[in-house]
Amino acid sequence: MVCKSKTPSAAFFALSTTSSVVLMTPLYLYLLRHLAQVPLSVWGLLLGTGFFQTLYYTNLGHSYRLNDMSLAYPITRSLPVLFVTFITMLLSIGKPLSALAVLRMVIIVILRNYFQYSFLFVVLAAIGTTGYSVIDSSALGLLKTGSQPFTTMQAALFYIAFENLVSLFAIWAYVLFSRREKINLRIIGKRSLRFSLLAGPVVSITYTLVLLAMQFASNVSYIVAFRQVSILIGVLMGIFVLKERASPYKIAGTALIFIGLVLTALW
């Protein structure tokens, strides 16, 4: 909501990621003693998640600039439910999902289709979320089952710290080579720097909780589905705080997402 209400852009997320990395300095010092425990394959996965995080942040900024938050956020968050489900089924990752579970996740995703130019950025942001969710789940599994296994908390803290570090370099590379983003950077520096800096730690703390949850789930698809409870909050904030139009399609789509979440929880 802060990003949408200020200067929605990749520059906003570059600054927020920088804030997170700086505040995590003590965590990096603590983790130095555990680096020898990290399987080599995890470093490769971190590079992959850095790419998908950057894809997510850059296109989320574009989608917020061109769409209402109460439209862009629900679709960006709901599409990965289907994408991750499809990938985990295709690659046989985690416990197999029942047909009923897949149906419930489809209900979570149902929203009005907006096949226009601005919708492309929403889809790309959703692909970014899908990519880093699948990769992060696999990497956490490797950290927990390596020759020197991490504890659940150590795995989550290590991963959020180095995921942010890799993403930091990737997203700043994009910002510094984009004329539009360099302009956005100057605007944010003059008008809303404190908001982007405060957003970073909030994002890191909440995603650390997701990383912890991934280690207890039988299939990452369930975690991606349950994360979508934020859609209800996002739509309400878009309508009541940012004063966006509450169309029947938005209300109906949000209601279907809620029904899907309840069904996933009950069965």
Q: What are 142-199's pLDDT values in tens digits?
A: 999 888 899 999 999 999 999 999 999 999 999 999 999 999 999 999 988 999 999 9
Provide the pLDDT for residue 167. 95
Average pLDDT over residues 26-34: 94
Nearby residues of 256 by Cβ (< 8 Å), 6 or more positions away: 107, 108, 110, 111
Q: What are 35-56's pLDDT values in tens digits?
A: 999 999 999 999 999 999 999 9
Average pLDDT over residues 79-101: 63
Mean pLDDT score across all residues of the chain: 83
Q: What are 218-253's pLDDT values in tens digits?
A: 776 677 667 767 777 888 888 888 888 887 877 777
pLDDT band (50, 70, 90) for residue 104: low
First to last CA, the chain: 32
pLDDT band (50, 70, 90) for residue 69: confident
How many percent of the chain have pLDDT more than 90? Answer: 46
Q: In this predicted model, which residue has the larger pLDDT, 88 or 46?
A: 46
- Reading the block at residue 146, the tokens are 């390596």
